[in-house]
Amino acid sequence: MELTVAEENYLKAIYHLSEGGKKSVSTNDIAAEMKTKAASVSDMLRKLGEKEVIEYRKYYGLQITDSGKRYALQTIRKHRLWEVFLVEKLNFAWDEVHEVAEQLEHIQSPLLIQRLDAYLNFPKFDPHGDPIPDEFGDVRARPRIQLNDMEIDQMGQIVAVKDSSAAFLRYLDKVGAYIGARIKVLDKVEFDGSLEILVDQKKTLFMSKDVASNILVLQS
């Protein structure tokens, strides 16, 4: 069975909104994510239901099926592999790759993706720190916490971002908070939750609670 580009985009959105299929999703949630009207969403859900990639009950929301998860993970895998390729081989900045990868993720060639994976030496994470599903749909997760949840004197490594918008990534580039950076929390301001952190044992940054909540850290 083949899915259209629109169907793949919806299925990927449903997968993310359902936290990997762990919970049901409402039509309004999907409409907000896809920036469209609820009526358009309902029509797409009917099509996806006919292809048995979701289970949908009006007024009760929907859940993605095992078949739907496989299709969603394939699309996510292609997207993240292309992001690695664009950054590592074509010198794109990490804030420039999302829209290009959105187009490339719909290429229907399993052999191409297998060879792309091998060419990149089988990366486990994309440039934003998100795990890349393998060809069987398995995802290598690692325990991560939000930077703003760390305590004073705790140390860790920045491994991912929750907000991958271009504006946020450019901000992180500007302040020098990058994937792989070693950090230590020096202080937390009681008034507004902002943080003072030490990056790579040499640079001190002051970071708002909102920024810190979008940075994911592997504690050491």
CATH number for the domain including 191?
2.30.30.90
For residue 26, the domain's CATH number is 1.10.10.10
* Alpha-carbon span 10 to 159, nearest angstrom: 27
Does the residue 201 lie in any domain?
yes
* Alpha-carbon span 1 to 53, nearest angstrom: 11
Mean pLDDT of the chain: 93
Does the residue 178 lie in any domain?
yes
User: pLDDT (tens digit, 9 = 90+) per residue, 14-42?
Assistant: 999 998 888 899 888 999 999 998 888 88
Does the residue 32 lie in any domain?
yes
Does the residue 209 lie in any domain?
yes
The domain of 175 spans 145-219
Report which of 35, 6, 30 is spatially closest to residue 16, judged by C-alpha positions. Answer: 30
**Quick check: 60 pLDDT over 80?**
no
Does the residue 197 lie in any domain?
yes
* Alpha-carbon span 14 to 24, nearest angstrom: 9
**Quick check: 9 pLDDT over 90?**
yes
**Quick check: 132 pLDDT over 90?**
yes
Does the residue 100 lie in any domain?
no
Look at residues 64, 84, 99 and tell me which one is the last residue of a structural domain.
64
Give the count of domains, the chain: 2
Q: DSSP character for 91?
A: -
Cα angle, residue 135 at apex, residues 27 and 80 outer, rounded to 5°: 60
**pLDDT, average across residues 39-49:** 90
**Quick check: 61 pLDDT over 90?**
no
**Quick check: 196 pLDDT over 80?**
yes
Does the residue 104 lie in any domain?
no
Q: What integer pLDDT is reported at residue 49 of this predicted model?
A: 93
Does the residue 80 lie in any domain?
no
What phi and psi values does residue 67 have, to the nearest 5 degrees?
-65, -40
